Structure 1
Amino acid sequence: MTEEIIIAGFGGQGVLSMGKILAYSGIMQDEEVSWMPSYGPEMRGGTANVTVILSDERISSPYLKLYDTAIILNQQSMDKFEKTVKPGGVLIYDPNGILAHPTRTDIDIYQIDGNRLATEMGNKKVFNMIVLGGFLKIKPIVKLENVIEGLKKSLPERYHHLIPLNEKAITKGMDNIFSYKVEDQLVDH
């Protein structure tokens, strides 16, 4: 099993930490892991993405041109990464701020309204955990207990009191991800 993932959005959305938590979760499961961040110099508000590879075999290179899964959180990332999902792969996106929705019919597309759900939970900072939960519902490649361990590793200890809130956010994401059918959208317009 090898899963090659790109997570992309604005700096400040928790893109890099989502990738780091996935990577730590893979380590907890004795998998081979690669975590490769990429971001502009402006950080918050600039674009950021991270490539994560989890595998039960050695990883030959962290550089990828095509991905099994793309998690997309802004329009610039949609424009750049929709075409990089392998045929038969998965694209997950938050529709907030997306004007040009995905149009491919050779991949599975899912929508999760993480922004709205985080607002409903009263804490915008759990946005990335909601999206991560949605991803894990579609592709349960790491166990929830390992994600919690990954959170403990990636969060400074002074924030460990927020782990139960993050766990609730992951569950909320698992319960609120829905299939997006391009064909249905084309008929409506």
Structure 2
Amino acid sequence: MNNSQEMIMAGFGGQGIMFAGRLMAYAGMLAGKEVSWLPSYGPEMRGGTANCHVIVSDQQVGSPIVNNPTALIAMNRPSLDKFESTVLPGGLLIIDSSLINRSIERKDIRAIEVPATQLAVDMGEGKLANMVLIGKLVKETEVFPLEVLVQAMNKAVSARNKDLLDMNVKALELGYNY
């Protein structure tokens, strides 16, 4: 079964966009798939726009650049405005409805609004909205099982941040089950 995903994750610098993308690429590797991860920063890292292109594929990846994603996560309004039109028809668009004050305009894609920042704040860790959205992305795309994502998280979180591991996993599961 070929389940290749070409994804763009976008938001403000400091929202954990790059970490989320690296985590997806790492989980793809653990799942035995071909992967690429390409970060892109706006003028300033924190507060500026940031996005990354992630490809998780059963075939060899020819180019790390994603022009028309099969899936998009938009964590802020500028990212939604910039990338909504690029999603492939039939593709998936997940937005953080806590931070984006407009609805998704396209009708030819699967659109999911998740109040990720609010869910993360309610959980006690507002910075984990990215993990809530990644959990939802994995659930909707079935690109690999949630267990593989959790396994990748165990490897990705540094030893000095092990206390954050459980919270990150909880956020992934929260999004997955939302």
Would the TM-score normalized by the shorter structure come out above 0.5?
yes
CA distance in 2 between partners of 1:126 and 1:100 (Å): 22
Deviation (angstroms), 1:154: 2.3
Give the match for residue 36 of structure 1: 38
Residue 13 of structure 2 corresponds to residue 27 of structure 1: no
Give the match for residue 141 of structure 1: 143
Structure 1, residues 38-80: CA drift from partner, whole Å, max 9, x if none?
0124111110001000011101111121110011011110111
Give the match for residue 112 of structure 1: 114
Give the match for residue 160 of structure 2: 158
Structure 1, residues 155-181: CA drift from partner, whole Å, max 9, x if none?
2111123222211111111222xxxxx
Check whether the contact 2:69–2:87 (CA below 8 A) recurs between aligned residues: yes
CA distance in 2 between partners of 1:113 and 1:19 (Å): 20
Deviation (angstroms), 1:32: 0.4
CA RMSD of aligned residues (A): 1.2
State how 1:1-189 maps to structure 2 within 5 Å: 1=2, 2-176=4-178
Check whether the contact 2:8–2:66 (CA below 8 A) recurs between aligned residues: no
Which shows bigger deviation, 58-67 or 45-54?
58-67
Return the letter of the residue paired with 1:167: V
CA distance in 2 between partners of 1:64 and 1:145 (Å): 26
Check whether the contact 1:5–1:69 (CA below 8 A) recurs between aligned residues: yes
Deviation (angstroms), 1:128: 1.1
CA distance in 2 between partners of 1:128 and 1:98 (Å): 14
What is the TM-score normalised by the length of structure 2? 0.94
Structure with the greater alpha carbon radius of gyration: 1
Return the letter of the residue paired with 1:47: T
CA distance in 1 between partners of 2:115 and 2:101 (Å): 14
Which shows bigger deviation, 75-84 or 151-160?
151-160
Deviation (angstroms), 1:153: 2.8
CA distance in 1 between partners of 2:147 and 2:161 (Å): 18
Deviation (angstroms), 1:147: 1.2
**Unaligned residue ranges in structure 1 (runs of 5+):** 177-189
**Unaligned residue ranges in structure 2 (runs of 5+):** none
CA distance in 2 between partners of 1:143 and 1:159 (Å): 24
CA distance in 2 between partners of 1:52 and 1:25 (Å): 11
CA distance in 1 between partners of 2:81 and 2:29 (Å): 31
Greater fraction of residues in strand: 1
